[in-house]
């Protein structure tokens, strides 16, 4: 369960970073 939550948080971080990069591009 904790691993699942960790994956979700990691996915959110990657997705947010991807959106930030898209904004700078």
Residue 22: predicted pLDDT: 74
Residue 23: predicted pLDDT: 73
Counting the structural domains of the chain, the total is 1
> Does this model's pTM top 0.85?
no
Residue numbers of the domain that contains 23: 1-25
Angstrom CA distances, 12 to 1, 9, 15, 17, 25, stand at: 17, 5, 5, 8, 20
Q: Which two tokens stand for residue 24?
A: 């700078």
Angstrom CA distances, 4 to 8, 9, 11, 13, stand at: 6, 9, 11, 14
pLDDT tens digits, residue range 1-25? 788 999 999 999 999 998 887 776 6
């Amino acid at each position: 369960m904790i691993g699942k939550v960790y994956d979700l948080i990691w996915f959110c971080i990657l997705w947010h970073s991807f959106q930030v990069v898209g904004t700078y591009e």
